[in-house]
Amino acid sequence: MKQSVKMIVGNWKMNGLTADLGEARALTESLSDAPASCRVALCPAATLVAQMAWALKGQGVEIGGQDCHAEPKGAFTGSISAAMLVDAGARLVILGHSERRQGLGETDSLVAAKFETAVAAGLEPIVCVGETLTQRETGQAVPLVTAQVLGSLPDAAASHAFAVAYEPVWAIGTGLTPTVAQIAEVHEAIRSALVQRLGPAGTRVPILYGGSVTPANAGEILQVAEVGGALVGGASLKAASFLAIVRAAEPARVAADAQG
């Protein structure tokens, strides 16, 4: 999987007002001078999805939501449906982020239900998995993440485009990152789980790494076997730092760095 086009996705989380669309525009201005040779996406808060999709239309940056409801529509005050995201211009949706699993009690089976609703509406899910520090320290990282992958994908996942993002909870927003060997171990376990769950289709699913990715560490992380891209939080909020991560993911750069 190492040779395939990388996918760099920014997750703005609960950040960003209309004024911050300037950062997204600055990103596309730089990319129009030198187009990215990897997939680039931004996932703003729901309030900005339509405006960002409109502002960036046709400029090579895909737009995603950060969550959607498991039901296609109905009396769910405050929630956003998959069809609403598509209507607003989104192509992708992050599902099962640890900030939702931990803070809002989202379970693997709820994530799998959201996956089915999202793909039915035409969205490409990015399914997040990852262990807590305690789970890592007690040797549970690989079994836990494997179980999350197996449980968070519906049976029909094999016939849909989607990505998995490995985001160790302890690495999110902390400046801490796993070692390259730890990332490789978990990504290989995720690949095995995907093949176990989906058969040959499991070999083609991009597996992103997320958690304190910065311009300084992106090159090294993106070299790791089975790392198909990055899901970037804080460093995606500013065009300059996100662009540097996008550039680190471009094939020529990845190949050159691999040769040392």
Residues labelled catalytic: 97, 167
The secondary element (H helix, E strand) that includes residue 128 is strand 124-129
C-alpha distances in Å from residue 143, one per residue of 38, 102, 225: 31, 18, 19
- For 211, residues 6+ apart whose C-beta sits below 8 A from its C-beta are 130, 167, 168, 170, 171, 172, 174, 176, 177, 178
Give residues 78-107 in contact with ligand 13P (rule: CB under 6 A).
Answer: 97
Give residues 212-231 in contact with ligand 13P (rule: CB under 6 A).
Answer: 212-213, 231
- Establish if 117 lies at the interface with ligand 13P (CB under 6 A): no
- Establish if 11 lies at the interface with ligand 13P (CB under 6 A): yes
DSSP codes of every residue in 158-191: GGS--EEEE--GGGTTTS----HHHHHHHHHHHH
Which residue has the CB atom at the shortest distance from ligand 13P? Answer: 233
> At its nearest, how many Å lie between ligand 13P and the CB of residue 97?
6
> At its nearest, how many Å lie between ligand 13P and the CB of residue 242?
10
- 94 three-class SS: strand
> At its nearest, how many Å lie between ligand 13P and the CB of residue 13?
7
Give residues 127-146 in contact with ligand 13P (rule: CB under 6 A).
Answer: none
> At its nearest, how many Å lie between ligand 13P and the CB of residue 173?
4
Q: Quote the crossing angle between the two packed helices 215-223 and 239-248, to the nearest 10°.
A: 20
Please tell me the distance from the alpha carbon of residue 157 to that of residue 126, in angstroms, as a whole number.
12
Neighbour count for residue 58 (Cβ, 10 Å)? 6
- Which listed residue (106, 167, 226, 250) binds ligand 13P by CB under 6 A? 167
- Establish if 66 lies at the interface with ligand 13P (CB under 6 A): no
Q: Which is nearer to ligand 13P, 23 or 167 (CB)?
A: 167
> At its nearest, how many Å lie between ligand 13P and the CB of residue 128?
7
Q: Which is nearer to ligand 13P, 115 or 198 (CB)?
A: 115
DSSP codes of every residue in 32-85: HHS--SSEEEEE--HHHHHHHHHHTTTTTEEEEES---SSSSSS-TT---HHHH
- Which listed residue (202, 211, 219, 228) binds ligand 13P by CB under 6 A? 211
Count of residues touching ligand 13P (by CB under 6 A): 14
- Which listed residue (35, 60, 143, 173) binds ligand 13P by CB under 6 A? 173
Q: How many residues does the chain have?
A: 260
Binding site for ligand 13P (CB under 6 A): 11, 97, 167, 172-173, 210-213, 231-235
